Amino acid sequence: MNQPVSDGSQKYSVSIIGASGYSGAELTRLLLHHPQVELRELYAFSQTGKPVSELYPALDCDMSYKSYNGETESDIFFLALPHGEALQLVPALLQAGKTVIDLSGDFRLKSVLEHQQFYKQAKSPEAVMTYGMPELFGEEIKSSKAISNPGCFATSIILGVAPLFLSNASIIKVRSITCTSTSGISGAGRSSKTELSFSEMSENVRAYKVGIHQHTPEIMQALGTSTSNPSFDFTFTPMIGALVRGIYSVLNVQLDKPSDMEDIKRHYRNFYRNAPFVRVRESMTEVRHVYRTNNCDIHVAHAGAGGSLVIVTAIDNLLKGAAGQAVQNMNIMLGIDERTGLS
């Protein structure tokens, strides 16, 4: 999956629309230090005129936020906006020939019906972008100019079970996946909600959107099925815990027949042999192991007899779950090593 490294002589101009949230700030950090990027504009409507150093002093960035008014001067645009806003902006950017990477959920679902059901938004059916999960769709990404970046929970879940679906389908068949994922609180965005205050979330864990989270159809789609006619049972309970960053997913998988653990691990290692950011680990994964990295760690175990697997995955929700994966996608589109600016 690695690309030949370009000679590094070329610089691409890049702008971020929605740069003041947590994903936008991580994009800013990554792109400021990316050797082939010139960061041109940081757009953030709500912070117009404010220096980046006021919101994020740790970024050591001397730019200021601007309002976005349809400018198309950059080569590449990252959009890190609340759900619904990219729908308005992406068509014009694509028409202007720009490379676009959208971090929202606006273009993730190919099914207009599922989009309307889970995002409660109308959507023009012609809007189509490539689903930017490099470990599964690297070839499509390479030739795309429009990427819909995966959701954070979705990334941690899809990477955990993809090897069971996307190859060797003849030998493994999944009957059900029961998934419980803990997210860091930054996943809720830079927020002023009382329920996300330190006083409310310290020493706390809370589940939400049981059975109705919008990443459910995204996961089904990436695994080749749909919520309306699923090829396996899928149950997903998202939670937030008392941590800022990270997603930790416990995936209970029922197969149709007993499996050999060594076979499964070998298959996982082989499946991800060219994926520099996926690590299939013998020992248990922890959030700390991937903290501030673009890695996805995967640990596979038998829960007991009878074909039942417990797969545990860990990512940093702001990196592999958002900004890091977005830069990885950009690298692939530019034909440079996908690790550039990410280690």
Query: Which of the residues 168 through 227 are near its own copies (CB under 8 A)?
Result: 178, 180, 182, 184-186, 188, 190-194, 196-208, 210-211
Q: Residue 44, interface with its own copies (CB under 8 A)? A: no
Q: Residue 290, interface with its own copies (CB under 8 A)? A: yes
Q: Residue 150, interface with its own copies (CB under 8 A)? A: no
| Cβ–Cβ < 8 Å for 218, 159 | no
Strand arrangement, sheet containing 12-17: 65-66, 37-43, 12-17, 76-79, 99-102, 146-148, 130-131
What letter represents residue 259's amino acid? Answer: S
Q: In sequence order, which residues have a C-beta less than 8 Å from that of residue 224 and are 6 or more positions away?
A: 165, 166, 231
Q: Residue 308, interface with its own copies (CB under 8 A)? A: yes
**Alpha carbons 49 and 39: distance in angstroms, whole number:** 17
Q: What string marks each residue from 239 to 278 as x (binds its own copies by CB under 8 A) or -?
A: x-xxxxxx-x-x-x--------------------------
Q: How many residues interact with its own copies (rule CB under 8 A)?
A: 73
Between 94 and 310, name the residue whose CB sits nearer to its own copies.
Answer: 310
Q: Which of residues 109-148 bind its own copies (CB under 8 A)?
A: none
Looking at 10, 116, 168, 235, which residue binds its own copies (CB under 8 A)? 235
**Alpha carbons 4 and 336: distance in angstroms, whole number:** 6
Q: In sequence order, which residues have a C-beta less than 8 Å from that of residue 79 and are 6 or more positions away?
A: 16, 17, 18, 85, 86, 89, 90, 100, 101, 102, 103, 104
Q: In sequence order, which residues have a C-beta less than 8 Å from that of residue 338 and are 6 or more positions away?
A: 1, 2, 3, 134, 276, 277, 328, 331, 332
Looking at 295, 296, 321, 325, which residue binds its own copies (CB under 8 A)? 295
User: Closest approach of Cβ 5 to its own copies, in Å?
Assistant: 15
Closest CA to 152 of 279, 318, 328, 324: 318
Q: Residue 33, interface with its own copies (CB under 8 A)? A: yes
Looking at 4, 7, 9, 58, which residue binds its own copies (CB under 8 A)? 58
Q: Residue 297, interface with its own copies (CB under 8 A)? A: yes
Segment lying near its own copies (by CB under 8 A), choices 4-12, 104-112, 235-243, 329-337: 235-243
**Alpha carbons 97 and 99: distance in angstroms, whole number:** 7
Q: Residue 229, interface with its own copies (CB under 8 A)? A: no
Q: Which of residues 68-107 bind its own copies (CB under 8 A)?
A: none
User: Closest approach of Cβ 130 to its own copies, in Å?
Assistant: 27
3-state secondary structure 269-283: HHHCCCCCCEEECCC
Under DSSP, is residue 70 helix (H, G, I), strand (E, B) or coil? coil
Segment lying near its own copies (by CB under 8 A), choices 39-47, 110-118, 154-162, 229-237: 229-237
Query: Which residue numbers are catalytic?
Result: 152
Token code pair at residue 278: 């996926």
| Cβ–Cβ < 8 Å for 161, 334 | no
Looking at 50, 83, 145, 281, which residue binds its own copies (CB under 8 A)? 281
Q: Residue 306, interface with its own copies (CB under 8 A)? A: yes
Q: Residue with structure tokens 């730019």?
A: 63
Between 102 and 297, name the residue whose CB sits nearer to its own copies.
Answer: 297
User: Closest approach of Cβ 123 to its own copies, in Å?
Assistant: 23
